[in-house]
A and B are shown apart, each in its own frame.
Chain A
Amino acid sequence: MAEIRNIRVMEQILKANDYLASALNAEWDQTRTFVVNLMSSPGAGKTSLLEATLPLLKEEYRMLVLEGDIETERDAERIRTQGVPALQITTGGTCHLESHMIDQAWKLARDRGPFDLLFIENVGNLVCPASYFLGEHLTVVMLSTPEGDDKPMKYPKAFRSSQVFLISKSDLLYALDFSPERARREALQLQPKIETLLVSSKSGEGMQRWIQLLKQQRARRFGS
């Protein structure tokens, strides 16, 4: 005779992801590696932002970049030409990064360290990546001006889980009806503590403030 038993579980379905992410976070605290998770839709300029960011930090910090894409090694190659080690994570169809992918890549890369700063470039997508904590210290969401200033409310979770909001491609503002103030206010409604910066990887606008912010956040976590 078979018995039927009802088991009350009440657990987060993504518990395993979050558990591993927390373990990574603890390891990065020990190695004093400040980790940034960068999210945006495809083509908002995540890789371009990193290409503009790395040269400004290279003298002071040892850095590593993990590039998430569904296919190709292209982004990692772009980063390597900056003289910064980069590992490509190809998800093979999965539309976001999960902590086990980061764990695998980090285990391959960490012996080449120590690293002061680790940038994780998530798969271009404003929906799914927001559900997966990767153990990062700072979550950054980026929106490019051609996408429109009404996007924060359309992707609430991405904004709610971020501490920094970058509005990229500010050099195109002259040609668009994008109001940075409107976008900033929408983001603040979703996440009252979010800090908004207007940047352009091309013209360099806002890059000094972005670099300052990264340095301050890292110093706040680990001391200088």
Chain B
Amino acid sequence: MHELSIVSALVEQVNNVAQAHGSTRVRHLTLQVGKMSNVVPELLQQAFEAFRKVEPLLKDARMEIRQVYPLMKCGRCSQEFVPDTFSSPCPRCLSTSVELIHGEELLLREVELEIQDGGQDG
């Protein structure tokens, strides 16, 4: 249950982006969350709602979570595949020497800002 801490870091990150562009209103943010990132999207969303109530910047903001399927690569035959679990063997040669290429990420992809006239460029 570290979703609250993650959203706390996210809010700071979004704050920095908004400040850099002279915006006081965030409309939308998009996260990219790997299915093996160890976080629960519903809990992220709940934590975000809690922050929205106390952060004026986020008052009207919506958060979209794009979940990303994991991708593994076989160390023996180089086949790439979507695993069910961390222990999935290669579907082509059945080797268990496989490596996760992505699926653990926790990224802020995009922020949609409202910028009043006179806002800074950048």
Contacts and interface: CB of A to CB of B under 8 A. Distances in A.
Interface string B1-41: 11001100110110001000101010100010000111100
Contacts of B57: none
The secondary structure that dominates the A interface is mixed
Contact of B9 (A3, A16, A157): A16
A100 to B, nearest CB: 10
A96 B86 contact: no
Interface in B94-122: 96-97, 100, 104-117, 119
A223 B38 CA distance: 36
B: contact size bracket: 35 or more
B109 A10 contact: yes
A79 interface: no
Contacts of A6: 110-113
A135 B111 CA distance: 29
Given A128-B2, A189-B87, A2 B115 contact: yes
Contact of A7 (B12, B85, B96, B111): B111
A94 interface: yes
Contacts of B100: 160
Contact of A160 (B6, B86, B97, B114): B86
B114 A11 contact: no
A13 interface: yes
